[in-house]
Structure 1
Amino acid sequence: MIVTDRDGRVLWREGNRTIMRRADQIGLADGHQWGEHNVGTNGIGTALATGRPVHVYSEEHLMRILHIWSCSAAPITDPDSGRVIGCVDVSGTARSLHPATVALVATTAKLAEKQLALCMHERDERLRRRYESLRGHPGVLLSSTGRVISGDPAGDLGGRVHLGERAGQFAGQRMILRDGSVALLEPFSDGFLLRPSSAAAPPVLALSFLGEGTPSAAFGEGDRSLSLRHAEILTLLALHPHGLTAEQLSFHLYGDAGNPVTIRAEIHRLRAQLGEAIAAKPYRLTCPVEADFLSLTRLLSANDPTSLARAYPGPLLPRSESPEIRRERDELEAQVRACLLRQGSPDDLWTYAQTSGGRDDYEVLERLAALPPTDPRSAAARSRLLS
């Protein structure tokens, strides 16, 4: 039986002495790493990678030297942080292990998680008692990992606040919450307090990315034009408010051919323009965002075709080849078109016909061509249909 950390490093083992001597020969011993990126498919590494119990039979191991071994493993998840923190594994020199071995390691992992949860609740209770001793219970009480413990009865914070990896180093750190309000993060005993901030609200990042014009952003003092790549990065961060790693951004922008190093360089240049609007680890926007393509989504939900037509000057970043942005662009175009054809007035359809997507749209032009002959929009539509 083996217990590892989250990287697959063996922390402890116990078992038959003869089997343990054979395990020494393949590195199945204290201090050795068994993550999938180290030794390929194996019980420990695969359980950690998939986040669920697995049974790996002899020939299923990637390395031939392991083909005389079979193993069952289950990950252990920390109930406080929600992250996988280790693994419990049973391995043996046999063509296969009893099918119930998977249930055995899964149950063992669950027992470990229950013990961790008990310790977590005891810490929470001690922290809650200290919090309740404060007059008026100011602020929202958080655990050291950002779990909401007390002070948010309506659940507005969603159960957890993303603190970042170095939150404990910054007393009085300002944070932007999900509803756009500003709060100060202060250390409190073994956790944190979120207190309402009396400081002025942070500047809003306004993004104008719809239509054929040059993408632009407004943050702080005045507007600034953006390169297509910077506009793509901001679009993806606005669409993923919880943040993206460099690897995820690279994949969304370039697909499998992406390079995270290129993304880090572009983010560095972008932060030189927008400063504290972009945070790292993961990359995310830390200020309120007003984007024309996000406003469009709200108008679609409101079923207001007139406002929708006025708010849609054209597709989202039409020159972008990013797979993620192309998918978002096509979905927005299809939803706007469907709404206007279903509910739009002739004025709304004519406004849409001035966009790049609506200029040669046969169905839209047919609707406009059916207007009375005295309406100039009818003649223009017939002309486009004939061209």
Structure 2
Amino acid sequence: MDDRATVLWTDGDPSLRRETARAGFVEGVRWDEQSVGTNAIGLALRTGSATTLLGPEHFELCQRDWFCVAVPVPGPTAGVVNIAGPLAEFHPRTQTLAASLAALVASETRAHRFERLERLRMRYAGHLGDRDLLLVDDEGWVVPSSGPSRGVGARIPAPTAGAVLVPGHGRCPAEPVAGGWLVRLRPRTARTPVTARLRLDRGTPCLVVDEAPDPLELTRRQGELLLLLHLAGTSGLWASDVARVLHGGGSPTVSVRAEVSRLRRALGTHASLVDSRPYRIRAGYHLDPGPDWRDSPFVRGSRVAAIRSAPAQPTASDTREDQNDDR
């Protein structure tokens, strides 16, 4: 399944596939919770963690004789691996098998991406010495040796209609080439930050990045994380800081890293908005929650004291050494 719970591919015993097809488990059908109610695929995408549902835990009656085990694909590849079958044949190690398959999908995806970028690098080697050019594939992955690639991260938004927003450079012209794009970076004097507007005027937050046509829907916790990083300023927050603010220090830093990972997954091609070690808004982005965000329904309903009592202007937390690996 992809990041919208759309079935991309199925395999298995032919008789079981016929049964699952009658329940709608076929290529092209969406299995998010809005479409088919509570199911393992939708839950795994929403929570970012492995999910097992047995029989009557499903919403749909036609699924109540089945088990489903769904595991998100790790890394930047958004999607889910799901194993389903008759409830009577469920095995406790099924989740381990699904996790192994998800890791294999991630590994194969990385290998294909490396090969794709390497072909681009060899094909357009003559352009790689130009510091004002960035070479990317059709998904926005940057060929590492092109332009100031360290400054924009491993991925930028996929170019469309001859232009693309590049963090730290603003909107830049993009020329299509075979297998990718050549992006002409704007002169230093013309560079402007990419503005990410965090809308909090309703119960569920969303992020609107510059002139992007569609907002990025976020969970409440993801909106709170972005607000905390906005308030922390350039000094940022370490995982232990975030754990203390969100959970009173009673949560391990690994939980915070998992939450940040889910936030980056939700940001998609703008995952580089959140920098690491410490966590902070990456240079080249401007996060704007709006002038009246402190009076928004979102903030008034937050359980995080640091957000409800935020100062009038963002403050920078003290930078300190921390041995945690905040990635």
Q: Where on the TM-score scale, by shorter chain, does this alignment land: which range? A: 0.5 to 0.7
Quick check: which one's helix share is greater?
1
3-state secondary structure, aligned to 1:13: coil
Q: Name the CA distance, whole Å, in 1 between partners of 2:299 and 2:27.
A: 47
Deviations 1:227-269 (A, max 9, x none): xxxxxxxxxxx9x93455xxxx2xx11336x9x9xx9xxx9xx
> Within the alignment, does 1:161 sit opposite 2:156 as a pair?
yes
Amino acid of the residue matched to residue 108 of structure 2?
Answer: Q
| Aligned equivalent of 1:189 | 178
Deviation at 1:25, TM superposition (A): 4.1
Cross-structure match for 2:137: 143
Question: What CA deviation, in whole Å up to 9, does each residue of 1:138-188 have, x standing for no partner?
Answer: 52222222222223557211322234xxx3322xx375x433567433323
Do the aligned residues in 1 keep the contact of 2:70 with 2:95 (CA within 8 Å)? yes
By how many angstroms is 1:129 displaced? 1.2
Q: Does 1:89 align with 2:86?
A: no
Give the count of matched residue pairs. Answer: 243
- Conserved? CA contact 1:70–1:93, under 8 Å: yes
Change in 2 beyond 3 A, CA 1:106/1:18: same
Q: Match for residue 122 of structure 1? A: 115
Q: Does 1:99 align with 2:92?
A: yes
The answer as to 2:307 corresponding to 1:331 is: no
Contact 2:128 2:147 in 1 (8 A): no
Task: Kindly indicate whether residue 255 of structure 2 is the aligned counterpart of residue 281 of structure 1.
Answer: no
Distance 1:32 1:255, change over 3 A: closer
In the alignment, which of 223, 241, 257 is matched to residue 195 of structure 2? 241
Q: 1:179 to 1:133 in 2, by over 3 A?
A: closer
Residue of structure 2 in register with 1:322 after alignment: 296
Task: Report the Cα offset of residue 21 of structure 1.
Answer: 4.4
What secondary structure, in the 3-state scheme, does the structure 1 residue paired with 2:213 have? coil
Shift in CA distance, 198/83, structure 1 to aligned 2, threshold 3 Å:
same
CA contact (8 A) 2:294 2:310 kept: no
State the alpha-carbon separation in 1 of the partners of residues 105 and 45 from structure 2: 16
SS in 1 for 2:81: strand
Distance 2:152 2:234 in 1: 25
Q: 1:104: Cα distance to partner?
A: 0.5
Q: Deviations over 1:206-244 (max 9, x none)?
A: xxxxxxxxxxxxxxxxxxxxxxxxxxxxxxxx9x93455
Give the superposed CA RMSD: 4.4
Go from structure 1 to structure 2 and tell me whether the alpha carbon gap of 1:135 and 1:19 turns closer, same or farther (over 3 Å shift).
Answer: closer
Q: How does 1:1-387 map to 2 (within 5 A)?
A: 4-76=1-73, 82-85=76-79, 87-95=80-88, 97-134=90-127, 136-138=129-131, 139-149=133-143, 150-152=145-147, 155-163=150-158, 167-170=159-162, 173=163, 175=165, 177-179=166-168, 183-197=172-186, 201=190, 241-244=195-198, 249=199, 252-255=200-203, 279-282=211-214, 321-323=295-297, 330-333=309-312
* Cα distance, 1:61 vs structure 2: 1.1
In 2: Cα distance, 1:320 partner to 1:168 partner: 35
TM-score by length of 2: 0.58
> Matches of 1:148 and 1:47 in 2, distance apart?
29
After superposition, the Cα gap between the structure-2 partners of 1:66 and 1:317, relative to the gap in structure 1 and judged at 3 Å, is closer
In 2, the alpha carbon distance for the partners of 1:146 and 1:107 equals 27
Deviation at 1:324, TM superposition (A): 5.7
Shift of 1:330: 4.8
Structure 2 runs not aligned, ≥5 long: 217-230, 237-289, 301-305, 316-327
**SS of residue in 1 equivalent to 2:201:** helix
3-state DSSP class of the match of 2:87? coil
Return closer, same or farther for 1:71/1:196 CA change in 2, 3 Å cut-off.
Answer: closer
Given that 2:203 and 2:298 are in contact with CA atoms closer than 8 Å, whether structure 1 keeps it comes out as no
Larger radius of gyration: 1
Question: Which ranges in structure 1 are unaligned for 5 or more consecutive residues?
Answer: 205-237, 268-276, 285-295, 302-315, 337-387
**Percent of paired sites with the same residue:** 27
Cα separation, partners in 2 of 1:28 and 1:151, compared to 1, 3 Å: closer
Q: Contact 1:174 / 1:183 at 8 angstroms: preserved in 2?
A: yes
Cα deviation, 1:33-68, whole Å, max 9, x if unaligned, reads 422222212223323333332211112112233222
